[in-house]
């Protein structure tokens, strides 16, 4: 299928009727629905669907950097680029091919990209939708250059929630975090869960699985990850929402970003080396 700008999108379905839609613009997941057709990801009503602007919502891929330090634009260029479909992807390993629909998207640097980030890489993004409606994102990044390079990466996941003041995040207690609201200063989480009363913009370090409890909807999102030690937690709250043109003033109440990421310790690849980072999103009760 194509979007209003003629950019291809691929829709994955599973036998129970769940679906996931990924755009070749940025390799961005724009929709992930339950088998009852309920949308699980947030997209702003004011999102801009015009490249190179990234769509405000879904799961933008932040690569080769997270944040806006250095020469690259905020969160790197991968989410602003048009990816291509790999028509004959390597088969899934037997371990996780049970009824899984999947598609592989590829990104390689253009001549222009190489001017701003002089490292030749191949980024293979495999998007999978399991028989149970789980959404998996597997990134394989290979250095096809003759010298090492380093990168940071985040799956910038906008979860759809009912009311941010009724949301609790578990799995990050006792961890250290870098606070983007205090010049990335390092703190230790004291709470026994994270709740939200104001803007939060943190990178939690060395986390394992994370759960997001949406009380109103009686739904829990589960985030499982491999190769992604860190977790970004972001809600813009009111003031920042008003400052974003592609975001509704009140929309901070219906979204929460909890991103599997590798940020604190950038990943270095020697020539020919490949890195894999995997994110699995699921929810309970599975409808």
Residues at the contact surface with ligand TA6, assessed by CB under 6 A: 54, 67, 74-75, 180, 201, 232, 234
Shortest distance in whole angstroms from residue 234 CB to ligand TA6: 4
Nearer to ligand TA6 among residue 24 and residue 232 (C-beta): 232
Nearer to ligand TA6 among residue 44 and residue 139 (C-beta): 44
Of 268, 275, 178, 278, whose CA–CA distance to 228 is shortest?
278
How far apart CA 238 and CA 9 sit, in angstroms, is 32
Q: What's the token pair of residue 209?
A: 């699985």
Q: Are 135 and 31 in contact (CB under 8 A)?
A: no
How far apart CA 248 and CA 156 sit, in angstroms, is 18
How far apart CA 48 and CA 34 sit, in angstroms, is 25
How far apart CA 58 and CA 22 sit, in angstroms, is 9
Shortest distance in whole angstroms from residue 235 CB to ligand TA6: 9
How far apart CA 213 and CA 230 sit, in angstroms, is 19
Shortest distance in whole angstroms from residue 54 CB to ligand TA6: 6
Find the residue with minimal CB distance to ligand TA6: 234
Nearer to ligand TA6 among residue 141 and residue 233 (C-beta): 233
The β-bridge partners of 274 are 142
Shortest distance in whole angstroms from residue 70 CB to ligand TA6: 14
Shortest distance in whole angstroms from residue 60 CB to ligand TA6: 6
Nearer to ligand TA6 among residue 5 and residue 74 (C-beta): 74
Nearer to ligand TA6 among residue 26 and residue 277 (C-beta): 26
């Amino acid at each position: 299928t194509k979007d209003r700008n003629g950019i291809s999108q691929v829709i994955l379905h599973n036998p129970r009727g769940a679906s996931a839609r990924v755009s070749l613009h940025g390799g961005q997941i724009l929709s992930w629905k339950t088998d009852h057709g309920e949308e699980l990801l947030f997209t702003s009503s004011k999102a801009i669907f015009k490249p190179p602007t990234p769509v405000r919502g879904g799961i933008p891929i932040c690569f080769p950097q997270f944040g806006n330090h250095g020469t690259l634009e905020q969160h790197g260029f991968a989410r602003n680029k048009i990816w291509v479909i790999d028509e004959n992807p390597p088969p899934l390993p037997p371990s996780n091919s049970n009824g899984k629909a999947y598609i592989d998207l590829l990104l390689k640097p253009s001549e222009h990209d190489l001017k701003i980030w002089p490292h030749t890489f191949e980024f293979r993004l495999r998007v999978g939708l399991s028989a149970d409606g789980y959404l998996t994102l597997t990134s394989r990044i290979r250095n096809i250059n003759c010298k090492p390079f380093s990168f940071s990466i985040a799956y910038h996941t906008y979860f759809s929630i009912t009311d941010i003041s009724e949301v609790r995040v578990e799995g990050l207690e006792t961890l250290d975090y870098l606070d983007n609201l205090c010049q990335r200063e390092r703190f230790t989480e004291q709470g026994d869960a994270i709740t939200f009363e104001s803007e939060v913009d943190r990178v939690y370090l060395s986390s394992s699985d994370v759960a997001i409890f949406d009380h109103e909807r009686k739904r829990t999102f589960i985030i499982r990850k491999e190769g992604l030690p860190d977790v970004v937690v972001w809600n813009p709250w009111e003031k920042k929402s008003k400052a974003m043109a592609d975001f509704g003033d009140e929309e901070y109440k219906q979204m929460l970003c909890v991103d599997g990421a590798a940020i604190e310790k950038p990943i270095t690849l020697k020539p020919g080396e490949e890195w894999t980072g995997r994110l699995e999103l699921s929810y309970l009760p599975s409808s």
